[in-house]
Each structure stands twice: as structure tokens, then as C-alpha cells.
Amino acid sequence: MVLSIDTRLMKTRTRIAPSPTGEDLHIGNAYTALINYVFAQKNAGDFIIRIEDTDRTRLVEGSEERILSSLSWLGIPHVEGPDIGGPYEPYRQSERLPLYKKYAEELIEKGHAYYCFCSGGRLTEMRKKQEEAHMPPMYDGTCKKIPLSEARSRVKNGEKYVIRLNVPDSGTTSFTDLIRGEISFENALIDDQVLLKSDGYPTYHLGVVIDDHIMGITHVIRGEEWISSTPKHILLYSFFGWDLPKYAHVSVLRNPDKSKLSKRKNPVWVGDYKTKGFLPEAILNYLALMAWSFPGGKEIFSVSEMIEKFAIEDIQTTAPVFDTEKLRWMNGEYLRSMQKAKLISHIFDFFDKKYDKVRIEKVLPLVRERMKTLAEFATLADFFFSSPTSFERPINKEMLMISVSALKTCEWSHDSMEKAIRDSGESAGKKAKEVFMELRLAVTGKTVGPPLLESLEELGKEEVMKRLSLLVSF
């Protein structure tokens, strides 16, 4: 009989267990990590990281390091993990193989698992026939009928095998999801899942149950795609005679068109957002709003504020839409509210000291309201630091000369320049808007940017006239 852990009697422990099979930490995993961290903090518990690296064919070199680095950059700290150790190390599944082998053999001894010798060819043919008959793709139990003594003899003789879960043919397996309520599965529809692969590595199902139990995980908070796997895990807990953790399955992030978040439509790696100049606190704030609402509808808040108000039962089951434009808006709000000195340092560091801090401070008031990411500082302000080397479109030099004539003799102040250029344009029979646009293009290289006359003031007369002289003779 499987028992639920009485979480009132023990310290709350949550975890995420990413697989190092991608370029970096997926933004969806960052969302799950945030919920796990906040829940642990809310309950004075621990948040840990475990690396599930048993799928050896899909490992990406450097992925683990990037995952841990992204979590650190986001500001989601863990108290145990492969990088800092802890009382239950090692925290990489590839370093715990004897443990999985031991427990898999224990299940066989108890009759809750069995050796399977089916070849890949036979399994492929089996699934093909099931598909043709419109049957669910499940193992047909052929090797379940082999006497244990015979199976062990075949193993001893070196025959290739896997170990499968022996799921009961009748009954139901149920659990209470903290977010979704009661969920039940008919055992007859649960597959005899492979637990230990022929290479000695565990599948997710065996590894996650053993590690969560040994590491004292009290709450398993993960994506909804694992709901169908949960009955297999509950059966394993029951077969081992272990207490059951509490489960909560959060909805997966979606694109605005409701399709599953994928790199074909959106950046999916946390590192992508860092490179684009998003702030970690803005990303966390936005992720917090994916399926949970701050009381009173507050949109801008810190993780510490979230911890204070969070209740996992308040998470919604509707598919949350991850809209990069909404994230850009939120990031812009953070940039505008940030202390000036801190923002200057962020810009200085983001561009690897390319821009002088003193100059950043001078031009920041002209571009800050328009910036939504740190990267956009370059788009908006690069012309303050160097002359444009290209232009959005060809320059109308005749129109540009109207500004040149006005700027050569006028006082170098906003009001004086504006009056001189307007008067010069009126004398030439040209619209002021067109004259100013040509001047902007010549000085900045672009048709859109920060306030023009304030920009000319900051650049200074000598620099502006120097740039104009490269385009027209005067």
C-alpha cells in the first residue's frame, strides 16, 4: 500500500531535474524552476537541482554548465546540486547507475518487474500491427510469461535484455494533483514501461522515483506532459513500499497561436533572452504571470513579493501564452524604473565596455524611454559614439544643404537650431518635416531615433558639421 507523505511533519523539498540535451535552459524549464523555488521558499524548504543525463545519445556538450549558469543568472538559487554537492550526492544520474540496477533487481525479486528480451525488430513489428488494428501502442507482455529461472539463465548467458515494469492487469491508479484535483488511470491502459535499458541506464521513470525518494523530495512540481507517466511512478512507489510525494502539474507554455513553445516561432533558451538584453528580474516577473495572478491584478512585482502571496492551488490549468512582445514591454518597464547608475553599469557590461560610461550617462535620458531591452541601446544610441557607416536610404543632398546652411551660422542650442532650420526650409519652399528627416538620416544613419535637436546638442557642433561635410560640400 502506498502512503502519501505527511508534509506537515517534514521539511519541504522541491527540485527540477533538467536533461542536458539542449543548448541551454529551456524557458519552460525556467518557469517550472521558478514555481519550485517559490514554493520551497514559501514553505521554508529547500530547492535542489538534479541532472538527468541518462539519455546518452542526445547529450549536448556544455549543456549542463549552461543550464546551471542560466539558473544562476536568473536568480533561482539551489541549495544542493551537481555544482555544489550536498548530502545526497552525486546529483547526476549517470553517476548513480549501481543504485538503479539494485532497485530494478529488487522489483524483479518481488514480481513487480521482469526481464524482456524482445529485439527492436520485433517491437517495431508489434507496434505496426497495433497501429493497423487501431490499438494503443503498448508492450504485449510476451516476456512477462517467461519463468524467472529461465529469464535469469538467459541473462547469465549474456543475452541482451531490458527490465520492464509489471503493471497489474486490472484496477485503477489514482492520485490527487494539487492543481488539477483527483486523476485516475485504468491499469489495463498503462504500459509495461521499460525501467532499465540494455545499456544499464535507467529510463526517466525508474530514475526519477528512486532519486526523488532518496533525496527526500516532498513535492513533485513539473509540466503537464508528465501526467500520463504519474501512475507508473505511483505504482513504483507502491511496489517499493515508499511514501508518495505530492504532485502538481503545471501547464506548458504556448505561443500566441496556442501551439507548443518551440524555437521555430520563439527563442526558447534562457541564454537567447540574455543575449538580446532582457533583465533576469523582468523574465522571472513575466514567467510568474504565466499561470498565476498576483492578488489585485498587480503586474510588476519581485520574486520576494511573489513568495509572500503565492499559493500553488491558485495556479490555473489554462495554457499560458508566452508573448515575447509582452515580455519586451515588461522589460522596458524595469529599465525605466531602474536606478540610473545601475542601468549605466548594465549597459556598460552588456556591451563589454564598448561604450564610455560618461557618454552613456549623457545620452541615456534621450533614449531611455524608447528602450525595451539593453541591446536596443546600440540601435538607438550608437551614432553618439561613432559616425554612421551606412544609411537606411539614399540621402537627398539638396534637402540636406538646407540644414547645413542654417546650422553653419546659428547658435548651437535647441531653440536656435530649430528656428534656423525651419526658416531656411521655409525660404526654400520645403516642409520642415522633410528637412529635419534628411538631417536626422545624415547625422544618425536612420530615419527614426531619439529627439533630433537634443541629439545634435549632445554631439556638439564640431562633430555634427564634420559628419555633414563628408556628405555634402560647403
CATH number at residue 446: 1.10.10.350
Q: Are residues 409 and 361 in the same domain?
A: no
Look at residue 8 in the predicted model and tell me its pLDDT. 54
Rounded to the nearest 10°, the torsion over CA 182, 188, 190, 192 is 150
The set of residues, in sequence order, having a beta carbon less than 8 Å from that of 215 and lying 6+ positions away, is 13, 15, 48, 50, 80, 88
Tens digit of each residue's pLDDT, the chain (474 residues): 455 555 555 899 999 999 999 999 999 999 999 999 999 999 999 999 999 999 888 999 999 999 999 999 999 999 999 999 999 999 999 999 999 999 999 999 999 999 999 999 999 999 999 999 999 999 999 999 999 999 999 999 999 999 999 999 999 999 999 999 999 999 999 999 999 999 999 999 999 999 999 999 999 999 999 999 999 999 999 999 999 999 999 999 999 888 888 777 778 999 999 999 999 999 999 999 998 999 999 999 999 999 999 999 999 999 899 999 999 999 999 999 999 999 999 999 999 999 999 999 999 999 999 999 999 999 999 999 999 999 999 999 999 999 999 999 999 999 999 999 999 999 999 999 999 999 999 999 999 999 999 999 999 999 999 999 999 987
Is the domain of 2 the same as that of 67?
yes
Residues 304 and 263 placed together within one structural domain of the fold: yes
State the Cα–Cα distance between residues 444 and 391, nearest whole angstrom. 8
Q: What is the pLDDT of residue 4?
A: 54
Q: Do 306 and 345 belong to one domain?
A: no
Looking at the domain assignment, is residue 87 inside a domain? no
CATH code for position 277 = 3.40.50.620
CATH code assigned at 103: 3.90.800.10
Based on the domain organization, do 351 and 309 belong to the same domain?
no
The range of the structural domain enclosing residue 117 comes to 97-196
Cβ neighbours for 233, distance < 8 A, ≥ 6 positions apart: 205, 208, 209
Q: CA-to-CA distance for 267 and 271, rounded, in angstroms?
A: 9
Residue 243 covered by a domain: no
Query: Which DSSP symbol is given to 245?
Result: P
User: What are the grid coordinates assigned to 180, written together?
Assistant: 488539477
Please check whether residue 27 lies inside any domain of the structure.
yes
Q: Would you please indicate which residues are annotated as catalytic (active-site) residues?
A: 263
If asked whether residues 170 and 104 sit together in one domain, one would say yes
SS3 158: coil
pLDDT of residue 473: 86
Domain assignment of residue 233, yes or no: no
What is the structure's pLDDT at 215? Answer: 98
The answer to the question of residue 86 being in a domain is: no
Would the CA dihedral through 126, 128, 134, 138 be positive or negative? positive
Asked if 436 and 369 sit in the same domain, the reply is no
**Exposed e or buried b for every residue in 188-211, given b needs 16+ CB within 10 A?**
eebebbbbbbeeebbbbbbbbbbb
- Provide DSSP, 420-439: HHHHHHHHTT--HHHHHHHH
For residue 194, give the H/E element and its range.
strand 194-196
In a domain, 219, yes or no: no
Whether residue 468 is found in the same domain as residue 450: yes
Instruction: Yes or no: say if 50 and 211 are a contact pair by the CB < 8 Å rule.
Output: yes
Tell me, yes or no, whether 466 lies in a domain: yes
Residues 326, 344 within the same domain: no
Residue 362: inside a domain: yes
Q: Do 401 and 474 fall within a single domain? A: yes
In a shared domain, residues 303 and 345: no
Residues 369 and 441 in one domain: no
Total structural domains in the chain? 4
Q: Are 11 and 54 in contact (CB under 8 A)?
A: no
